Amino acid sequence: MTEITFDISRRHVLGLGCERGTPADEVMALAAEALRLAGLAPGELAAIASIDGRAGEPAILEAARHLSLPMLFFSAARLEEETPRLKNPSDIVFARIGCHGVAESAALAAAGQVAELAVPKIKSAHATAAIARMRLQKE
């Protein structure tokens, strides 16, 4: 599944990235900050997205459980396709994992081709978060 279907009230995707072993409370606090910056309630999210290398990462899985959201995971190659739409591409991230960003890229990949970043990448000590919004036809 590369895109999800949105309804008017749930058309945002939270992208998350983190170092291995990042505490769940750090990821949750960063997710809450991204929601605050976007002016969104958790119920306005459709999903959480990340890189497939974090599919078993406890902190990211806990965020999805806590928010009762499905998880979407993408390969580094798929995330790299989003590079032209990124606000904060990183050569360091590219050197490490093969794409120029995780949080922004994953959120955009999940939200679809007409999505835009509602919250560009924000960082904590060991994690990143971003929120993408599916644009409506009339926007």
Q: What is the CATH number of domain 12-134?
A: 3.30.420.180
Residue 78: per-residue pLDDT: 98
Q: pLDDT 10s digit of each residue in the chain, 139 long?
A: 445 555 566 899 999 999 999 999 999 999 999 999 999 999 999 999 999 999 999 999 999 999 999 999 999 999 999 999 999 999 999 999 999 999 999 999 999 998 999 999 999 999 999 999 988 765 5
CA dist., res. 92 & res. 87, Å (int): 15
End-to-end, the C-alpha distance of the chain in Å comes to 25
Are the C-beta atoms of residues 119 and 100 closer than 8 Å to each other?
Answer: no
DSSP E strands, 1-96: 12-18, 45-51, 71-74
Phi-psi region of 25 (alpha: psi -120 to 50; beta: other; left: phi over 0): alpha
23 vs 19: CA distance, rounded Å: 9
pLDDT of 1 reads: 44
